[in-house]
A and B are shown apart, each in its own frame.
Chain A
Amino acid sequence: MKKNEILQAVAIISGLSGAPNLQATSQEGAYLDQQLSLGEESTGIPAIFHDYALLDELIDVFAECHNPNWDGYEAKPVEFNTLFQAVKFIKAMPPILPKPSIGADPDGDLSLDWHETSDRTIMVSINSQGKLHFAALVGQSRFTGAEPFVGEWPRQLVDLIRQVANT
């Protein structure tokens, strides 16, 4: 797929799947959820991203790593499901957190990195099932963990990122 098509697919998905309200099945609920989504998309760019650059970076990484052996060392391709999970994850990102760098892992996961110094750094990866794995170094302390993403950022993860970023 071309980058523009990926971007537009993501824009639609993020709008449709993103209203934080509970998923409704009635005609009235569908109307309300659509109005909420249209409000976000009136600019043509999902307002749920903190800035366009973050979305652009995510799409660029996906486009580069969507094919098998994308790193020349038999890396697994990043699947669409992984991209969609990353969109949902970033969409739910608390606004108080600083912007991460986006990357891809050889196992096909997408990753978000916050790197302040050599002893204040954290990486979170998300896979196609929405499972999060994170590893952090805060001074002399190391933290690792795994959590399913069910729509809310785990509190421990948010606290760690804030410690790394010193916010």
Chain B
Amino acid sequence: MIPRSAKQRHLENAPAAEAIIELRAAATLPEGESELKEVFSVGYPDYPEIRLHSDFQFNVAVGDRNGPLKIPALEELGVNVQGVRMAHQQLPQIIICLRDRFSYSRLAPYQDWDSFQAEAMRCWGIYSRIGKPSNVERIGVRFINRIPMPSSDLADQYFQDLANAPVALRRKSFFYRDILDGPGGTPYTVALVRTVQSKGDDTSILLDVDVLHQEPLAPNPSKIRRHLEAMREIKNLVFFESLTEKALETCQ
């Protein structure tokens, strides 16, 4: 039995910047890049923006004490393409179909759980028909929430039970990550991240709730949906218990 937060309520302005459902399973996808694009463009006609996707994205410039790092181009390394990334023609929805996973993302504005889950499962069904995945090794439900905060406010006024620094010094920033067991002996794990992001004069709190199921199961849609529903309840519990009334009122 998954408990429900006393603070849980419908939020008219849900603060989800991104909601993700991911299923990890080994799928048999075409080897060639053109074949990959072809099969997925046919399978997802309403997601026409297709890009090849590799696991390894070099999009951060870093260096070491010897100077800027010379990173070999992916082509030089002969890195395999793992699948495709597709964007919906109108809606803020992204699908990633790889040889070892499927994920569906809904970006802001988030609508509601029923339509979010329904589209994710519809797209998973198409991926299943194409790639015929074996056991689902992992299911994930991740909600990344962003709540703008006036510069005059403190994060403590938005996050429930935010730990104080051990010394009486002003806190400039923080990044807290907790790994939690699911409630009541359920087979779930929760990765909870709380932090603040500042961009120029704008500051927001970020609340990242990631619920994971890490036991293999057959790719049966009914069983997957049951897990997704349970994970949604856990996500809601953690979400509402992590925020103060002040934070929740900004979402109504």
Which residues of chain A have a CB within 8 Å of any CB of chain B? Answer: 1, 4-5, 8-9, 12-13, 16-17, 20-29, 31-32, 34-36, 39, 44, 79-81, 84, 88, 128-130, 148-152, 155
Contacts and interface: CB of A to CB of B under 8 A. Distances in A.
Interface residues of B, number: 53
B193 A32 contact: yes
B146 interface: yes
Interface of B: 17-18, 20, 22, 24-26, 55-60, 62, 64, 66, 69-72, 77-80, 85, 94, 96, 99-101, 103, 105, 107-108, 134, 137-138, 140, 142, 144, 146, 175, 177, 191, 193, 195, 197, 206, 208, 210, 212, 214, 216
Given A25-B94, A26-B17, A29-B18, A149 B56 contact: no
A23 B103 contact: yes
A151 B77 CA distance: 22
B80 to A, nearest CB: 5
A79 B78 contact: yes
Given A16-B58, A26-B17, 8 more contacts: A16-B56, A21-B210, A22-B142, A24-B105, A44-B64, A79-B78, A151-B100, A152-B138
B105 A25 contact: yes
Nearest to B74: A80
A155 B135 CA distance: 13
Given A21-B142, A22-B140, A152 B24 contact: yes
